[in-house]
Structure 1
Amino acid sequence: MDTLLPKLQKLTQNLWWTWKPEVRTIFRDLDLDLYHLVHQNPMSVLKQITPEQLESRAADVDIPARVDRALRQLQEYLTPVTTWGLIHAGAMRSRPVAYFCMEFGIHESLPIYSGGLGILAGDHLKAASDLGIPLVGVGLLYHEGYTSQVLNGEFWQQDVVEPFDIADLPLVPAVGRHGEPIKVSVELPGRIVQASVLEVQVGRIRLILLDTRVKQNDPKDVALAARLYGGDQRMRIEQELLLGVGGVRALRALGISASVFHLNEGHSAFALLERARHRIQSDGMDPHLALQEVASATVFTTHTPVDAGHDRFPADLAAEHLRPLAEGLKLPLDEVMGLGRVNPHDHGSPFLPTVLALKLSRRANGVSALHGVVSRKMWNHLYPGLREDAVPIGHVTNGVHLPTWLATEMNHLYESHLGVHYQDALTRPDTWAKIVNVSSAEIWETKQVLKARTIRFVRQRCASMRTRLVLPEVEPAPLDPDALTIGFARRFVPYKRPDLLFSDLERLDRLVNHPERPVNLIFSGRAHPADSTGKGLIQKVANILEDPRFRYRIVFIENYNIHVGRMLYQGIDAWLNNPQRPLEACGTSGMKVVLNGGLHISVRDGWWAESYDGENGFAIGTGETHANQATQDERDAEELFRVLEEEVVPLYYENRNAAGVPRCWVDRVKHSIRTLGWRFNADRMVQDYVHHLYVPASTSSSCQMPPA
């Protein structure tokens, strides 16, 4: 038993366990209550469990043998004979892709993410690891994390800061050639800020994180990277400089010579100026040639079709912060400023990192086919003389990392019928075609197990919130386990229209309380801490749910995060998405639901615009939009109710066999998995990046930039 604890500790040192449910189960079985109390963090479990309890539980649930098996599997994973990346991206092994992002959603115990962008980045790293892609992630360590969401007595979102202990994470200081801890410095107005460089292993991938908790820093600079998306515009631009400039310098200090920079959103655009600055200072390159060289080796992914979602820094603020970079680039400050202006000659206009990234990247993409169209239209004015369809912004549709989001029970079902090695061939249509041969009863029974678990979880969370708010207990417990259960969870902003179903409360009452065909609705989501409009939407939804008509049928779950999302995606019957088209760039939550045997109900926006075939889910509307948004909202609300009343609900309740299995519903589930599973997984997404963007960028020597 003396050797068990070191083995368990070794198992926690690589975040590979975050997508290995059989490994997570080892720590859960040590102490279930403690496991949930510490946000499913294995390192915290080992720190807090007593030696006596460890010895007792280890004997009860056969921990030693399971740990040995997990360590063997990890070693085999880290030392493969071959990988997809070795064959298709071998040229980048000595010069990997550097993947910059403001946030990374790896696991709920590492709270350096806020939402979809971070979750996508986490899935990208995990898929790159599985495929063996030479890639290193670059981000910031927010030692106060993001925020936890708590509703007060008026159902107004409170944003609670919950600092985490770095000792509870497998972060290690990066060291130089002689074993010295690596630090980088970044010039900011009137001072130099330092950051230590930490590393965490995500499978085969190194994730580098910069930490400003350095004793040489002023307290305000220690606070610079305390919280994700915190502070005002000055703090925001300084965070982005820290990420971009500091991230490039960290790579250099680690001896990592990246062939490609992949910027996941514009927050890290300053990395491109720092990369060019280094070439000029170290190799004597002409400034304009250096910028062109950088552009030729840069991939930029934009995620934001909403104009207001792109950072805009006032001209004087940007100039103040860009002066050191301009001097290093040996270019006039105004010329460097022009790289981030929509109109480079409008000297008083704001500076946009997104514009800088577009001008200094040879290859840019949206995250769905429709988003590519929207982005080309949105940024057409940066490319004078080009038709809209010729604007050099393509698309790579997002996908989700299946092992992270898939329920263990669904994985067992897939292994039984698609083959035990089906995860090695996720992108092949023939892998998923075998789902048609699975009996409807087996799929239905599996889904009922998952649904029961989800409803238990939701009831517990609801009861806990009501107890804290001193609200009357709901008896009987909300949500009928036999009722059709639909989920809606995402960031609460007006364009996502979380309140669309509440436009007609009488009709909603008839829908959810139908005596023979009831419907459960589960809502979750949060607003940005500074977004009072989004918080108002949460309050509106939560207040309506106190109406006696809806108290047993509709619930709201606090603190939407990776854990809550996983519980919802795996157990609900259908997923609802009703944004204003075309403002949903992609939307990956529905993909996670489909892979877990649920159906997607959505406006034809984001990924659904390119994937709905009439039988693999449900569509709200035709995709055509009215010029007046209020009119469109009315149309979409009417169409949403119609789809639910005439298509979704009947399909779920009708045509049931003697065992109660809704045959037509399950047939649609099978068709959904067959047609969508192979396309909307992160393996396919990363493979697309490799083939269409990484490999060309790694070997490119020319570029065509819009004029600066």
Structure 2
Amino acid sequence: MPSLDPFISRTHIAYFSMEIAVRPEMHTYAGGLGILAGDTARSCADLEIPVVFVTLLSRAGYFRQIIDAEGRQTEEPDWWEPERWCTPLNAMVAVEIERKPVWIRPWLYIHTCPHGHQVPILLLDTDLDQNDRDDRALTHHLYGGDDSYRLKQEIILGIGGIRVLRAFGFDLHTYHLNEGHAALLTLDLLNRWRIPAEDLIAEEPPYDVAEVRARCVFTTHTPVDAGHDRFSYELFERLLPGFVELDVLKSLAGADRLNMTRLALNLAGFVNGVARSHAETTGHMFPGYRIHAITNGVHAETWTHAAFAQLYTRYFPQWRHEPELLVRALQLSDDEVWRCHVSAKGDLVRHVKEATGVALDPHALILGFARRMTGYKRPLLLFEDLDRLIGLTERRPLQVVLAGKAHPQDGDGKDAIRQLHVIARRLQGKVTCVFLPNYDMQVAKMLVAGSDVWLNTPLPPLEASGTSGMKAAFNGVLNLSVLDGWWIEACIEGVTGWSIGHGDDDRRHAADLYDRLDNAVLPLYYEEPARWRTMMKQAIGNIAYYFNSQRMMRRYATEAYLR
């Protein structure tokens, strides 16, 4: 039976994330944050970095997306069976919430990389006989419920998670917070490093803050103000009465509300954004902090279509461990690269037919767009001027495949999905436009590999990094994106893809998008296939070689973990 024992003595780093995409059958992720955490775990195993991962079990998942005939999204729980993939460990810890113990039991999932190295992933569960009905449900719904439910989840992740690790005997020197959801673990560390009263200097807080900072790494992911969790101090005091001195907490987390990002910023010795531009944006949002930049990456083997993986293995046998070898992609044969792309595109065409009944033309250009459906991602930008879109498509065929979920409480995001369905019906017979429901890891793998062009249209500077376009590049798919996040670093105009960047509003960005499609993308695809295939190889050689999670984790190891 799987056990934690082999990992305890050799593991010195803990990585906390509210969500993690371990495998498609485990519904423990909602989107990019969880996908990144999963790729981090896979690369830690590949590189033998001694990390244990901590997350919530999320039995009911994020949600299963149901789209009705009018394009309206509704949500259902997305239950999965932990016992199929994980092992319950015979240990429990308790966290006092509202003056009563809430018991937590971890489940163990072990990820094994191709050469056999393993990393443990602990999934925290409160669905136990020892808890009352409400507390049993605290680890069911990812990002569900009201503020009270969410703060209780963050108590379980941060405080419960660190106590689970301590109970098993891990000797940890670094705690990596993937976003602010686990920031309360810093308060547990403060209590552990409380200064004896006789050693206190007047006016000094009763904690060794320097010791806590020396142990904590914080990666912030969002430049969107609403994305930073905030809770009232009244709620905090009700759930965790007397856990830390309130005046100390306010000095660390904000005077008016408990800001989890600010708490993490003040108690982490290393803080980073997830792209160079995001680090700058974060510095403007939170002046006075040193924000490093470690640009995200994606796991090479996970996101590369089988046909491309075979091709890379033939020419670059060590590419999985050293994706930087893909810098030699220009050596690849145009015909072989195109054959791999045709295989990936065929898989996507078949899936679209099975899922929606729409038959895509495998010879016509497919534009892919898939991400969380929310305002700043601007999913409707491509459809700003339908007459212009129809006109350019009459000259050269264009097919659009869309996917994405809106948070259940994001009314604007849900309305965007409805509008996309209305637009698709209006375009019927003129522009093929299809929406794939219930976007998940499996759908994402097909879309990023099978599209010809990957579209991203965030409102700058609100894209922290973005990783879907990186995955596309591993499959020779060209990016067409607003210059924001990672794409500022990766875009070589007309070489690795194309930028959308003229103007500063939706109308001007839409006009620039149509210009790029009409004057560069579509003519190149249909009229200069040799140049298109060269660009595919340039995308692999200039993007995949660098924007991967092996490079990302080597940087975390040397810059953040070995301070």
TM over 0.5: yes
**1:558 Cα deviation (Å)?**
0.2
Number of equivalent positions: 551
Is 2:80 the counterpart of 1:164? yes
Residue number among 336, 353, 356 corresponding to 1:462 in the alignment:
356
Q: Is the 8 A contact 1:509 1:549 kept in 2?
A: no
- Displacement after TM superposition at 1:513 (Å): 3.6
| Ranges of 4+ aligned residues in structure 1 off by more than 4 Å | 92-95, 281-289
1:185 pairs with one of 94, 100, 103: 94
Q: Which has the higher helix share?
A: 1
State whether residues 194 and 207 of structure 2, in contact with CA within 8 Å, keep that contact through their aligned partners in structure 1.
Answer: no
* Shift in Å, 1:152: 1.4
Kept in 1, the 8 Å contact 2:96–2:240? The answer is no
- Decide whether the 8 Å contact of 1:479 with 1:554 is kept in 2: no
Superposition map of 1:160-559 within 5 A: 160-169=76-85, 171-174=86-89, 181-203=90-112, 204-280=118-194, 288-326=206-244, 332-341=245-254, 344=255, 349-380=256-287, 383=288, 391-418=289-316, 420-427=317-324, 431-463=325-357, 477-514=358-395, 517-549=396-428, 553-559=432-438
Contact 1:447 1:597 in 2 (8 A): yes
| Structure-2 change in CA distance of 1:548 and 1:645 (3 Å) | closer
Q: 1:580 corresponds to which residue?
A: 459
CA distance in 1, matches of 2:353, 2:394: 18
Indicate the SS of the match to 1:224. Answer: coil
1:642 maps to 515
CA-to-aligned-CA distance 1:442-486 (integer Å, 9 cap, x gap):
1112211211111111111112xxxxxxxxxxxxx4321110111
Residue in structure 2 matched with residue 103 of structure 1 by the alignment: 19
Residue number among 588, 592, 596 corresponding to 2:471 in the alignment = 592
Instruction: Tell me the residue number matched to 1:44.
Output: none
2:491/2:497 contact within 8 Å kept: yes
CA distance in 2, matches of 1:270, 1:541: 40
Partners of 1:113 and 1:146 within 8 A in 2: yes
The answer to whether the Cα contact below 8 Å between 1:478 and 1:552 also exists between their aligned partners in 2 is no
**Which is strand-richer, 1 or 2?**
2
Q: Distance in 1 between matches of 2:172 and 2:198?
A: 19
Offset at residue 118 of structure 1 (A): 0.4
1:681 aligns with 2:548: yes
Partner of 1:668: 535
Cα 1:574–1:338 change in 2 (3 A) is: same
Instruction: Give the match's secondary structure for 1:229.
Output: coil
| Counterpart contact for 2:334–2:533, Cα < 8 Å | yes
Quote the Cα distance in structure 1 between the aligned partners of 2:327 and 2:128: 54
Matched, 1:120 2:27: no
Cα deviation, 1:257-308, whole Å, max 9, x if unaligned, reads 2110100000000001112212339999966453220111111000010011
CA contact (8 A) 2:275 2:293 kept: yes
Task: Quote the residue 1:19 is aligned against.
Answer: none
How far did 1:165 drift? 2.1
Q: CA-atom RMSD, angstroms?
A: 2.1
d(CA) in 1 for partners of 2:111, 2:313: 24
Which residue identity does 1:363 align to in structure 2? F
CA distance in 2, matches of 1:640, 1:288: 56
1:508 is displaced (CA, Å) by: 1.2
Q: Is the 8 A contact 1:512 1:518 kept in 2?
A: yes
CA distance in 2, matches of 1:321, 1:216: 19
Match of 2:50 in 1: 134
1:89 match:
none
Judging changes above 3 Å, is the alpha-carbon distance between structure 1 residues 683 and 283 closer, same or farther for their aligned structure 2 residues?
farther
Taking only the aligned residue pairs, the percentage that are identical comes to 38
* Kept in 2: contact 1:300–1:361 (CA 8 A): yes
Q: Hey, what's the Cα distance between the residues in 1 that align with 2:143 and 2:490?
A: 33
Specify the alignment match of 2:62 in structure 1.
146
In the alignment, the residues of structure 2 paired with residue 274 and residue 284 of structure 1 have an alpha-carbon distance, to the nearest angstrom, of 21
Give 1:489 deviation, angstroms.
Answer: 0.1
In the alignment, is the contact (CA less than 8 A) between 2:195 and 2:206 conserved in 1? no
Q: Per the alignment, do residues 489 and 283 of structure 1 end up closer, same or farther by CA in structure 2, a change over 3 Å counting?
A: farther
Structure 1 unpaired stretches of 5+: 1-9, 15-77, 80-91, 175-180, 327-331, 384-390, 464-476, 627-631, 656-661, 697-708
Query: Could you say if the C-alpha distance between residues 153 and 549 of structure 1 is closer, same or farther in structure 2, counting changes exceeding 3 Å?
Result: closer
Contact 1:513–1:553, Cα closer than 8 Å, also in 2: no
In structure 1, distance between residues paired with 2:250 and 2:327: 53
Indicate the SS of the match to 2:272.
Answer: strand
Give me the whole-angstrom Cα distance separating, in 2, the residues matched to 1:523 and 1:376: 33
Give the CA deviation at 1:124.
0.4
Q: Which amino acid aligns with 1:224?
A: L
Unpaired runs of 5+ residues, structure 2, are 113-117
Q: What pairs up with 1:41-80 in 2 under 5 angstroms? A: none
Please, which of 612, 617, 625 is the counterpart of residue 497 of structure 2? 617
The TM-score with structure 2 as length reference comes to 0.94
CA distance in 2, matches of 1:650, 1:155: 33
CA distance in 2, matches of 1:606, 1:550: 35
1:483-525 per-residue CA deviation (whole Å, 9 max, x = no partner) reads: 01110000001110000011111111123343xx201110000
Q: Distance in 2 between matches of 1:257 and 1:551?
A: 62
Cα deviation per residue 1:301-322 (whole Å; 9 max; x = unaligned)? Answer: 0001001111111231123234
Q: Is the 8 A contact 1:597 1:669 kept in 2?
A: yes
Q: Secondary structure at the match of 2:473?
A: helix
Q: 1:478 to 1:201 in 2, by over 3 A?
A: same
TM-score w.r.t. the length of structure 1 is: 0.75
- Indicate yes or no: 2:527 matched with 1:654: yes
| CA pair 284-104 structure 1, distance change in 2 beyond 3 A | farther
Letter in 2 for 1:356: L
Distance 1:491 1:284, change over 3 A: farther
In the superposition, relative to structure 1, how do residues 279 and 456 fare at CA in structure 2: closer, same or farther (>3 Å)? same
- The 2-side partners of 1:368 and 1:397 are apart by 4
Report the 3-state secondary structure (helix = DSSP H, G, I; strand = E; otherwise coil) of the residue aligned with 2:561: helix
Aligned partners of 1:298 and 1:360 also within 8 Å: yes
CA gap 1:95/1:288 in 2 versus in 1, 3 angstroms = farther
Give CA-to-partner distance per residue, 1:518-549, whole Å, 9 cap, x none. Answer: 01110000101111110000000011101254
Letter of the aligned partner of 2:335 in structure 1? A
The aligned amino acid for 1:365 is N
Structure 1 residue 416: Cα displacement = 1.7
What is the CA distance between 1:426 and its match in structure 2? Answer: 1.7
